[in-house]
Amino acid sequence: MKLVETWVKASFLKGASLLLLSECAQDISPDVCKRLAEGRMVLTTCPEVENAEMIMGKLAAILTCSNPSDLTVLTMEGSPHCLALHAAANEALFITKAKVPLSHFVILEGKVMEVSSESVRVARYLHLVQKCIQKCPDILKDLNRHSLEHRCR
């Protein structure tokens, strides 16, 4: 079900365990998505197509009106658009002050990995990312393995 086309007071959202899923993840890693979707109400979206602020506002309205039991975000690792879904979920919780447990997961090379809300927050502050690189320059070796745009230089 598409997030932006879902009524925020729909009965199936009330108290539900929610999975916010990037549209592309379903096509790229259907087995991973199916596994994480088990027992959850799945809402899909793509910030490349739908405005990230609209996504955040919709999530905030769902958190306020339907009081879900928890929220999980699952996206593709390395996608700048998918990163916006994680940021939108963090922002929606911040704005609403909802006490809903939030989990962030990314899919990398067919495997699912959990990342913290703090990682999502740090990703928004490039000067902090720069500090991380300076303190741990070996991380650039991992980046070289995963980042195609880095290989094109």
The letter for the amino acid at 144 is N
Extract the tokens encoding 102.
């939030």
Delimit the domains of the chain by residue range: 3-125
pTM: 0.94
Decide if 26 contacts 49 (C-beta within 8 A).
no
pLDDT tens digit sequence for 76-94: 999 999 999 999 999 999 9
The pairing of beta strand 102-108 with beta strand 111-115: antiparallel
Extract the tokens encoding 110.
């067919």
Extract the tokens encoding 121.
């927050």
Average pLDDT of the chain to the nearest whole number: 94
Closest CA to 55 of 19, 25, 27, 92: 92
User: So what CATH class is 3-125?
Assistant: alpha beta
Report the alpha-carbon distance of residue 16 to residue 25 in Å, rounded: 21
Report the alpha-carbon distance of residue 76 to residue 57 in Å, rounded: 22
Residue 23 pLDDT: 95
- pLDDT per residue, tens digit, the chain (153 aa), is 999 999 999 999 999 999 999 999 999 999 999 999 999 999 999 999 999 899 999 999 999 999 999 999 999 999 999 999 999 999 999 999 999 999 999 999 999 999 999 999 999 999 999 999 999 999 999 888 888 775 554
pLDDT tens digit sequence for 48-59: 999 989 999 999
Residue 39 Cα to chain centre, angstroms: 18
The residues with which 103 forms a beta bridge, in sequence order, are 72
